[in-house]
Amino acid sequence: MWQYLLKRLLGLVPVVFGITLAVFVLLRFIPGDPAIVLAGERATPEQIDALRTQLGLDRPGYIQYFAFVGNLLQLKLGNSILSGIPVLDEIRSRWAATFELSIAAMFVSIVLGIPAGMIAAVRKNRWQDQMTIAGSLLGVSLPVYWLGLLLIYLFSVSLKWLPPSGRISIGFDIQPITGFYVLDTLLRFNLPAFIDVITHLILPALTLGTIPLAIVARITRSAMLEVLSQDYIRTAKAKGLSDRLVIFRHALKNALLPINTTIGLQFGTLLSGAVLTETIFSWAGIGSWIYDGILARDYPVVQGGVVFVAIVFVLINLLVDLSYAIIDPRIRY
């Protein structure tokens, strides 16, 4: 197992460098100049040139790239062009918000998606199955930004049940311990703040979790249908075992590998796909921060944020691969 783990970690190196090159090159194709954005429209050409020299944007592209990679090897991601704050400090202050939202969205996907897929498989070709297929197709097809705005209008503007944006109301002041507001409010034994944080989390979690929910339901249905057609399932039924025991102990357990893979991949996708959701709900996470960096042509912010998300995505995939041996003892590395 340790040899496998070492090989996977070494394989992470070219992946990260490939991502850094792709991000660096694509950013340079975006119209606009960070120096102009920072200096303002009324700045003179001399002022803009001086600012470009100060930021190092006048150097050849390959020199800028090697400087970026060199800083990355030293765990330095540079400073934001607009704010001057180190990118690594921004990531430290924002990553918990994105992870908290992604975990909540994944929780919604698992709690609703797996039972829906199981019911659809057990009730194949019946109305439950047809509703699951139609619902999953609808969930994948709905644009996130449209769904988020629709939920805000329905539950915040019309019904006034849930807050439209933010992580916590202004009246609450909690001292962060982990950065995860749900956990921090529990550790502080602050029940009103905990309830307020949960109400702020519901709408963005539902919005972000819609697509993973649909995918998890479809994969669960497909995996369960394959397992339910196996000979050992028919043998278990012939022995007189109850349907519930056959489904949960024999069928679901053997269908977990593809479901586990899907959950891992979708969780990694949520981290990178939270840009629109965080922007719509004013969620102070990495996604909205990268979005603001793109609009401002803040190269260090976008480069550092994308590299961080990419590394996390690859590490999550590695953890998913390692979990196979826990789910299925027959698998060895």
User: How crowded is residue 254: how many other Cβ atoms within 10 Å of its Cβ?
Assistant: 18
Provide DSSP, 176-245.
-SSS-HHHHHHHTT-HHHHHHHHHHHHHHHHHHHHHHHHHHHHHHHHHHHHHHTSHHHHHHHHTT--HHH
Lowest average pLDDT, out of 35-39, 72-76, 115-119, 318-322, goes to: 35-39
Residue with tokens 């944007």: 57
Q: 93 with 50, same domain?
A: no
Q: 19 with 142, same domain?
A: no
CA 34 to chain centre: 28
Label residue 56 left, alpha or beta by phi (over 0 means left) and psi (-120 to 50 means alpha): left
Q: 94 with 192, same domain?
A: yes
Q: 150 with 266, same domain?
A: yes
Q: 171 with 215, same domain?
A: yes
pLDDT in tens, 121-130: 888 888 888 9
Average pLDDT on 169-191 reads: 86
Q: 43 with 106, same domain?
A: no
CA dihedral 229, 230, 231, 236 (to 10 degrees): -80
Q: Is residue 98 part of a domain?
A: yes
Q: Is residue 202 part of a domain?
A: yes
Q: 282 with 170, same domain?
A: yes
Q: 191 with 64, same domain?
A: no
Backbone Cα Rg of the chain: 24
Q: Is residue 81 part of a domain?
A: no
Q: Is residue 287 part of a domain?
A: yes
Q: Is residue 257 part of a domain?
A: yes
Q: 256-280 vs 87-122: helix axis angle to the nearest 10?
A: 130
Which of these three, 49, 73, 97, is where a domain ends? 73
Q: What is the mean pLDDT of the chain?
A: 84
The confidence score (pLDDT) of residue 329 equals 67
Q: 49 with 125, same domain?
A: no
Q: What's the DSSP call for residue 79?
A: B
pLDDT in tens, 31-69: 777 777 666 667 777 777 777 787 777 778 778 888 888
Calpha distance 222→216 (Å, rounded): 10
Residue type, 297: R
The confidence score (pLDDT) of residue 273 equals 63
Q: Is residue 80 part of a domain?
A: no
Residues 6+ apart with CB under 8 A from 81: 34, 38, 55, 296, 297, 298, 299, 300, 301
- pTM of structure: 0.85
Calpha distance 65→47 (Å, rounded): 24
Buried/exposed code over 264-291 (b: 16+ C-beta within 10 A; e: otherwise) = bbbbbbbbbbbbbbbbbbebebbbbbbb
Q: Is residue 60 part of a domain?
A: yes
Please report, for the domain that includes residue 231, its CATH number: 1.10.3720.10
pLDDT in tens, 263-291: 888 887 787 667 888 888 988 888 888 88
The pair of structure tokens assigned to 54 is: 């100060």
Q: Is residue 30 part of a domain?
A: yes
Q: 28 with 155, same domain?
A: no
pLDDT in tens, 69-85: 888 888 888 888 777 88
- Determine contact, residues 274/121, Cβ cutoff 8 Å: no
Q: Number of structural domains, the chain?
A: 2
Q: 33 with 152, same domain?
A: no
Structural domain harbouring 224: 88-327
Q: 310 with 266, same domain?
A: yes
